[in-house]
Amino acid sequence: MKRVILAYSGGLDTTCCTQWLRQRGFEVICFSAHLGSEFSPSELKKRAIMSGASKIYIKDLREEFAHKYILATLKASAVYEGKYVLSTALGRPLIAKYLANIAQQENARYIAHGCTGKGNDQVRFEVSIQILAPKLKIIAPLREWDLACREEEIAYAKKHRLPIKTSMSEIYSIDKNIWGVSIEGGALEDIHKKPPPNSYFFVKSPHVAKNNSAHVELEFQKGIPIKVNGKTMGLVKLIEWLNEQGAQAAVGRTDLIEDRVVGIKSREIYEAPAAWILHTAHKELEHLTLDRETLIFKELVSARYAQLVYQGLWFTELKKSLDAFVNAIQSRVTGKVSLDLYKGNITVVRRSSPNALYKRQLATYGKGSKFDQRLAEGFIQLWGMPYRAQK
């Protein structure tokens, strides 16, 4: 029997995929990466087997995800189109790496995924597999089958007695991990309307958030968050803890009209409290510790980095080279940042660093200034010279 390794999430699409592949004569081995997802391992196993899989691998990859993937984009300040912290996009290359490993272990020649032909995730999975294991053949049931919409998939699932939940996760398409939740489809497709109250997954609405602010102090060492409120915390725990704090304070919701790789514009809402808190604090520390020219160049790198991750180009030489730049400048990014979280806002209130480039005796308008203001006149003459020449 032909053997296929299916990237399995437990949701409607991949549940239908399992059955569809079975019906086409494949032995289906599922793989689920636990990156902070909805289903427990026992639930996932039950669902995969009920859907026709012969076996399932479930791996808790949160540590690797946090240290190798999340951290890289945090240091790079990579945010796509200003509003998306790339939570889903970051998980794909990691999942692809494990799919390729398991395929080799199981002697399978096929990989399958439950992505549609309109989305980014197909690109991310397949380009990653092309790079890591070019001999594997990819099957994308959603690009081939004749189930035209989610309603038809639900009907197919019911007909074959597949396990589906009739909860909101079937109305919307949701992808969840510790770096954020992505929600699309259903009522969200009407871009003229506010997201319905039930569409956000776990971050509170600012209208019902607490009336007092939460205070968080983050400490970074060379760009890596290591302590929260004075307590040392591992990265996964720290992210999960910040997600809870941020969600209570209504922090981390965004609503984005985004540009997909295939050229479609789509609307997606995101919830990523920890990511926004960490990006805000990290950026603040960079502004305190890095010189102006480095910051200007870093902005270019951040935008490019975000595009690469979004476009499925994680395992590329360019990405590696950008990492080298980002890591080099992180050597100064050590210190503490204090933030207030209040009704959807993240406000930086304090910052400090042994590598601070802020010198009060230069900046001060008060007594004790060490800045020789007479030098400014000559500086401005030279600064303006090229533009006077244009007249």
Q: Which residues bind ligand ARG (CB under 6 A)?
A: 88-89, 120-121, 173-175, 182-184, 268
Residue 375: CB atoms within 10 A of its CB come to 9
62 is catalytic: no
CB of 88 to ligand ARG, least distance (A): 4
- Tell me the C-alpha distance between 161 and 159, whole Å: 6
Residue 68: CB atoms within 10 A of its CB come to 14
Burial readout 281-309 (b: 16 or more C-beta within 10 A, e: otherwise): bbbbbbebbbeeebeeebeebbbebbebb
- Which candidate, 346, 350, 347, 349, places its Cα nearest to that of 250? 346
CB of 85 to ligand ARG, least distance (A): 10
CB of 180 to ligand ARG, least distance (A): 9
8 Å CB contact between 112 and 21: yes
* Structure token pair of residue 279: 């990006």
Nearer to ligand ARG, 44 or 108 (CB): 44
CB of 116 to ligand ARG, least distance (A): 9
Nearer to ligand ARG, 169 or 248 (CB): 169
* Structure token pair of residue 267: 């609307």
Nearer to ligand ARG, 268 or 284 (CB): 268
Name the active-site residue from 62, 121, 266, 353: 121
Beta strand 55-60 pairing with 224-228? unpaired
8 Å CB contact between 103 and 136: yes
Name the active-site residue from 92, 124, 332, 351: 92
Nearer to ligand ARG, 192 or 265 (CB): 265
CB of 312 to ligand ARG, least distance (A): 9
175 is catalytic: no
Nearer to ligand ARG, 58 or 89 (CB): 89
Position 58, amino acid = I
3-class secondary-structure state, position 335: strand
What Rg do the C-alpha atoms of the chain give, in angstroms?
24
8 Å CB contact between 239 and 274: yes
60 is catalytic: no
- Tell me the C-alpha distance between 332 and 296, whole Å: 16
CB of 259 to ligand ARG, least distance (A): 10
Nearer to ligand ARG, 120 or 330 (CB): 120
CB of 123 to ligand ARG, least distance (A): 9
13 is catalytic: yes
- Tell me the C-alpha distance between 322 and 249, whole Å: 34
Nearer to ligand ARG, 62 or 176 (CB): 176
* HEC-encoded secondary structure of 263-317: CCEEEEEEECHHHHHHHHHHHHHHHHHCCHHHHHHHHHHHHHHHHHHHCCCCCCH
Task: Read off φ and ψ for residue 288, nearest 5 degrees.
Answer: -80, -30
Residue 390: CB atoms within 10 A of its CB come to 5
- Tell me the C-alpha distance between 127 and 292, whole Å: 36
Task: Read off φ and ψ for residue 346, nearest 5 degrees.
Answer: -115, 115
Name the active-site residue from 51, 173, 182, 353: 173
CB of 268 to ligand ARG, least distance (A): 5
Nearer to ligand ARG, 5 or 269 (CB): 269
Indicate which residues carry an active-site annotation.
13, 92, 121, 173
